[in-house]
Amino acid sequence: MFNEISSKVSFPGMEEEVIKLWEELGTFKKSLEIRKNSKEFVFYDGPPFATGLPHYGHLLAGTIKDIIPRYQAMRGHYVSRRFGWDCHGLPIEALAQEALGLAGAPAIQEAGVDVFNEQCRSMVTKYVEEWEKTVTRMGRWVDFENDYKTMDTPFMETIWWVFSQLWKQDRIYKAHRIMPYSWKLNTPLSNFEAGRNYQDVQDPAITVRVKLLDFEFENASALIWTTTPWTLPSNLAICAGPDIDYVAIKDKETHQIFVLAQARLSAYYKKEEEYEILKSYKGSELKGLKYEPIFDFFADNENSFQILNDDFVSTEDGTGIVHMAPAYGEDDYRICREVDIPLVDPLDEDCVFTAAVPDYAGQFCKDADKAIIKALKHGGKLIHQSTIQHSYPFCERTDTPLIYRAIDAWYVKVEDLRERMLKNNEGVHWTPDYVGEKRFANWLADAKDWNISRNRFWGSCIPVWVNVDDKDDMICIDSIEKLEELSGQKVEDLHKHFVDEILIEKDGKTYKRTPEVLDCWFESGSMPYAQNHYPFENKEHFEANFPADFIAEGLDQTRGWFYTLMVLSTALFDKPAFKNVVVNGMVLAEDGLKMSKRLKNYPDPTLVINKYGADALRLYMIYSPVVRAESLRLSEDGVKNSLRHLILPWWNAYSFFITYANIDGWTPEQSVPERDNLMDRWIQSSLARLEQQVTDAMDRYDLQAAVRPFVAFIEDLTNWYIRRSRRRFWKTEDDTDKVQAYSTLYEALLGLTKIAAPFTPFISETIYQNLKTDDMPESVHLCDFPTAADAKRDEVLEGQMAMVMSAVEQGRTLRAEYKLKNRQPLAKMHVVCDDEKLLANIQALESLISDELNVRAVEFGTDSSELATIQAKPNFKQLGPKLGPLMKKAVPLINSLTDEQIASISAGETVAVELEGKTIKLTDADIEIVRNPKEGMAVSAEGALVVGLDTQLNDDLISEGLAREFVNKVQNLRKEMDLEITQRIHIAFSSDESIELAVASHRNYIEGETLALSCEKAANGGEKITEIDLNGHACAVSITAAVE
């Protein structure tokens, strides 16, 4: 006996039960144990920040990360799945700052880095519990016990090793990065921090001339514009936009010659009469022109004082020519670096001018503006002066304006790795392919050196100790052991507040650690090595199992994790870090906007799971283009649909099986291997096709394509196999056919649980648990994935069934058209197909057709001329290339071929037609035959098949129709009365003569169908009389349960 199924199933409740079962049995662990000696399928999990609750994006990626490993495990691989946590970086620092009430970096330093970092450490695990709960509830199997955290000491030690490998390759270098700097607190801030305190301020806006040297006009000057006069002493270049139009003009009043953007002329001259245009230039033509330094403090600086070109220049304000002080502007720094202009930074840590600029030494930079403007005026270089009001970032703590300036930063040289990375990327299989071939490859081809240092606190430390007296003398530490050896101290924690205290004394010199921490992307990119504490431990195992077979993340990781993995694996091993990657798109709210807590434009994930179940949500997400990097508008209705469309019919099929198997006492032990019935062989073939299609798609990592065939199979199983086979299960005698039917349905349902297990792990498990026998694995997830499909595939039978289904469908359409309800039997139908072989195939399944359409006889024939006319249509694919330009004119000619001509063509002869003086020989392949139903007959035609329905009714047919109607109403009554399916009844009725006659002549049929022991006429009926309508005949019925 199978367990009875409650008629009121709650899928979410069922899923909770399954989670309990897995916990009791330790199923996940067992699934690993049984594959312990198998080939590994290596999966890397990208670590999320646990600074908030998981959202749909996580659930989606998590589902993909569950399905592939489950599938591969069932395919016989050992798939370890370690969860990872990204513990460092700004998200967690922001939480800690909030908790401690610290406004920014300076406040943290004031409070103590140790206090702050320990606060971070204590908060990292704040959401871990919630994450575990949600991930588990989604049915994802992942190892939380054996997880890795980027803040674990072994993980951090490997980070040092990775860094040291790059160091040895001479790949690490120090340069600058332009950052917002608080001069009051002597510290750089992150861009994020700088963005939080903008204020409106007034600044000077001055236009200055710089004298051009060796220009075609003598005494000509380029005009530049700036709102930071204090940066002018550090001016090293000026920049024009290559595509911007510039003009040399003569000022008619002063007779000076100026060069500026044509589009900016009107900002300087009210009338055109005030100047004379001498010549026009493209910015690119000005490139390379030299000019006289504005101040002479750095006049000897290499490569300086020339006009450069860059696209960032605009003509929205200023003169269209931009002054460049590489130490004080991001664009300035980038553009000057490209042409090897060394930066000069004459400000000390308080942003006060140093002796490098003697004229202003000792003045705070912004305070020097006035003196600088004065000097320019004196030198005749100031052309125009005004003030400008704009929004400018201020330090949060001190409310002083931030200064953008060059800060020491550490870089990894990446640009020389481009080609090797591109080559390694060719070995990666991307889903979808364009993300790898275009998007990622383009990004690699243009990779820039990677800034890996952060002026922050909670992170892996840059393991470089610098000689306090000579900043070029550095030691890179590659392990705890080495640091202990050099420092003579025990080292247990590698966080900043510990290692900054450690000094190294060597050869009489003192070394102190450089203060920066590493970008947390450096840590996630090192995850393949660091999670294994490589090379300090697990050396052989790691080397044998690198790179990973599979990773999966969102499209936004192109420049994130995918990239950092590739940079580090290429630098360290000259390999990609992963062989297959599935890229998912973004999950949007139903309105197409980003999900927003504020707008509340999406349903809470927990509520959705508790309403429809995790299986439904999984299916919904996976059966969508979001698994191919396109975005998904998540809708609750969509989740509901996947439940109604796939899970419910599946459950109903299963429930049908259990109900009747239990009634008949059928058990799997009674299973037989023979299949005499074509329906049985057909559903077997259908299941085999499902196996093949799912396997193909999964091996390509195409999840959406893997789900699609389930829809067709569920359709086949429920709406054809079971629908057409029901009577085989209802038969009272226990004959061979019934046993074969049970065996087939049992196998189909069992097979389906295995194929669906990776996708819908819960319902698969629930059904499997009830179907399995003692000699089978205790969980569906411990089974092998079925792959022996080929043997059971019968494509001929599949095609045959498709024809039958088409005939039935046409019959149904005709019934609808002629308003003949299906309960009304018809005398006969015609099925005509001029291909005898096809016809014979259909004929073999005659009973299916007659049964389904409720016709007493089916007449098969090959001559369709009585039912339909034939017409030829051109086969464009065949004729197009042959006829070329004549094609259009051939169409009417072919459409009007006579029946005789068509007949001889299809008999294999060639028919010649004349077209514009040319003779065209038409063969069988050149035309397609279309059959058009004749007017006034109940005929339908589809492809080679013509179906006709005899719509004539006689008394006999009408009487049987009434009997069927009677049965239907009684069955509905049974259902209303909540009778057991097997409950016997007595029927009493009273009605007119035609009903009495119909009941009398179909008594056996009625009693058999309704399980009635008697069906008698009663003067006033019995108790509980129900009035029913039988095709217009009033009837009073009452049914009573029989006492056994």
Partner RNA sequence: GGGCGUGUAGCUCAGUUGGUUAGAGCGCAUCCCUGAUAAGGAUGAGGUCACAGGUUCGACUCCUGUCACGCCCA
Site for RNA in 872-901 (CB under 7 A): 876-877, 880-881, 883-885, 887-888
Decide: helix, strand or coil at residue 1027: strand
* Site for RNA contains 521 (CB under 7 A): no
* Site for RNA contains 1044 (CB under 7 A): no
The correct pick among 389, 736, 895, 971 for binding RNA (CB under 7 A) is 971
CB of 722 within 8 A of CB of 653? yes
Near RNA in 472-511, by CB under 7 A: none
The site map against RNA for 315-334 (x = CB under 7 A) is -------------------x
The site map against RNA for 753-792 (x = CB under 7 A) is ----------------------------------------
Task: Report the residue number, 294 or 1035, with the smaller CB distance to RNA.
Answer: 1035
Closest by CA to 682, choosing from 835, 845, 817, is 845
The answer to whether residue 86 is catalytic is: yes
* Site for RNA contains 586 (CB under 7 A): yes
CB of 844 within 8 A of CB of 850? no
Annotated catalytic residue: which of 45, 86, 332, 519?
86
The correct pick among 341, 375, 435, 826 for binding RNA (CB under 7 A) is 435
The correct pick among 39, 196, 438, 541 for binding RNA (CB under 7 A) is 438
Q: What is the 3-state secondary structure (H, E, C) of 862-901?
A: CCCCCCEEEEEEECHHHHHHHHHHHHHHHHHHHHCCCHHH
Its sign, for the CA torsion 721, 723, 725, 730, is positive
Task: Report the residue number, 723 or 918, with the smaller CB distance to RNA.
Answer: 723
The correct pick among 23, 33, 129, 311 for binding RNA (CB under 7 A) is 311
How far apart are alpha carbons 114 and 834 in whole angstroms?
89
Annotated catalytic residue: which of 85, 225, 521, 682?
521
How far apart are alpha carbons 1013 and 456 in whole angstroms?
87
The correct pick among 122, 125, 389, 983 for binding RNA (CB under 7 A) is 983
The DSSP secondary structure of 114-151, one letter per residue, reads HHHHHHHHHHTTTTHHHHHHHHHHTT---EEEEEEETT
Closest by CA to 267, choosing from 330, 229, 335, 315, is 315
Q: How far is the CB of 823 from RNA (least distance, A)?
A: 4
* Site for RNA contains 187 (CB under 7 A): no
Task: Report the residue number, 555 or 937, with the smaller CB distance to RNA.
Answer: 555
Decide: helix, strand or coil at residue 703: helix
Q: How far is the CB of 551 from RNA (least distance, A)?
A: 17
Q: Which residues contact 275 (CB under 8 A, 6 or more apart)?
A: 249, 250, 251, 252, 265, 269
* Site for RNA contains 364 (CB under 7 A): no
* Site for RNA contains 930 (CB under 7 A): yes
The correct pick among 644, 700, 918, 1024 for binding RNA (CB under 7 A) is 644
Structure tokens at 378: 């004196």
Task: Report the residue number, 262 or 652, with the smaller CB distance to RNA.
Answer: 652
Annotated catalytic residue: which of 270, 271, 490, 597?
597
Task: Report the residue number, 508 or 884, with the smaller CB distance to RNA.
Answer: 884
The correct pick among 217, 498, 656, 860 for binding RNA (CB under 7 A) is 656
Task: Report the residue number, 301 or 652, with the smaller CB distance to RNA.
Answer: 652
Task: Mark the segment that binds RNA (CB under 7 A) among 55-63, 553-561, 893-901, 1016-1024.
Answer: 553-561
| 409: number of Cβ within 10 Å | 19
Inter-axis angle of helices 90-100 and 113-123, nearest 10 = 110
The correct pick among 118, 130, 143, 556 for binding RNA (CB under 7 A) is 556
Biggest CA–CA distance in the chain, Å, is 126
Number of residues that bind RNA (CB under 7 A): 86
Its sign, for the CA torsion 1025, 1028, 1034, 1040, is negative
Task: Report the residue number, 474 or 1025, with the smaller CB distance to RNA.
Answer: 1025
The answer to whether residue 270 is catalytic is: no
* Site for RNA contains 520 (CB under 7 A): no
Task: Report the residue number, 376 or 987, with the smaller CB distance to RNA.
Answer: 987
Annotated catalytic residue: which of 557, 740, 810, 824?
557
Closest by CA to 106, choosing from 180, 199, 25, 11, is 180
* Site for RNA contains 653 (CB under 7 A): yes
Near RNA in 213-242, by CB under 7 A: none
* Site for RNA contains 173 (CB under 7 A): no
* Site for RNA contains 103 (CB under 7 A): no
How far apart are alpha carbons 209 and 941 in whole angstroms?
87
C-alpha dihedral (604, 608, 613, 618), degrees to nearest 10: -80
Near RNA in 598-637, by CB under 7 A: 624-626, 628-633, 635, 637
Tell me how far the alpha carbon of residue 284 is from its chain's centroid. Answer: 44
Annotated catalytic residue: which of 45, 47, 85, 969?
47
Tell me how far the alpha carbon of residue 992 is from its chain's centroid. Answer: 66
Bridge pairing between strands 587-588 and 632-633: parallel
How far apart are alpha carbons 333 and 343 in whole angstroms?
8
* Site for RNA contains 348 (CB under 7 A): no
Task: Report the residue number, 9 or 361, with the smaller CB distance to RNA.
Answer: 9
Q: How far is the CB of 733 from RNA (least distance, A)?
A: 18
* Site for RNA contains 596 (CB under 7 A): no
Helix H or strand E segment including 1014: strand 1012-1017
The correct pick among 235, 425, 558, 684 for binding RNA (CB under 7 A) is 558
In degrees and rounded to multiples of 5, residue 773 shows phi and psi of: -105, 170
Task: Report the residue number, 493 or 715, with the smaller CB distance to RNA.
Answer: 715
The phi-psi region of residue 507 (left if phi > 0; otherwise alpha if psi is between -120 and 50; otherwise beta) is: left
The site map against RNA for 941-970 (x = CB under 7 A) is -----------------------x--xx--
Task: Report the residue number, 466 or 763, with the smaller CB distance to RNA.
Answer: 763
How far apart are alpha carbons 476 and 103 in whole angstroms?
33
Q: How far is the CB of 1015 from RNA (least distance, A)?
A: 15
Cis peptide before 48 (omega within 30 of 0): no
In degrees and rounded to multiples of 5, residue 863 shows phi and psi of: -105, 110
Euclidean distance between the first and the last CA atom of the chain, given in angstroms as a whole number: 23
- Residues linked to residue 583 through DSSP beta bridges, in sequence order: 553
* Site for RNA contains 309 (CB under 7 A): no
* Site for RNA contains 807 (CB under 7 A): no
The correct pick among 822, 906, 923, 1001 for binding RNA (CB under 7 A) is 822
* Site for RNA contains 81 (CB under 7 A): no
Task: Report the residue number, 539 or 726, with the smaller CB distance to RNA.
Answer: 726
How far apart are alpha carbons 1020 and 884 in whole angstroms?
81
Q: How far is the CB of 590 from RNA (least distance, A)?
A: 8
The correct pick among 168, 390, 509, 594 for binding RNA (CB under 7 A) is 594
The answer to whether residue 521 is catalytic is: yes
The answer to whether residue 561 is catalytic is: yes
Task: Mark the segment that binds RNA (CB under 7 A) among 147-155, 237-245, 315-323, 587-595.
Answer: 587-595
Q: Which residues contact 915 (CB under 8 A, 6 or more apart)?
A: 886, 889, 890, 893
The correct pick among 2, 9, 19, 364 for binding RNA (CB under 7 A) is 9
Task: Report the residue number, 783 or 995, with the smaller CB distance to RNA.
Answer: 995
* Site for RNA contains 918 (CB under 7 A): no
Near RNA in 659-698, by CB under 7 A: 659
DSSP 718: I
Half-sphere exposure of 3 (CA within 13 A, CB side): 11
- Residues linked to residue 553 through DSSP beta bridges, in sequence order: 583
Q: Which sequence positions are flagged as catalytic? A: 47, 86, 521, 557, 561, 594, 597
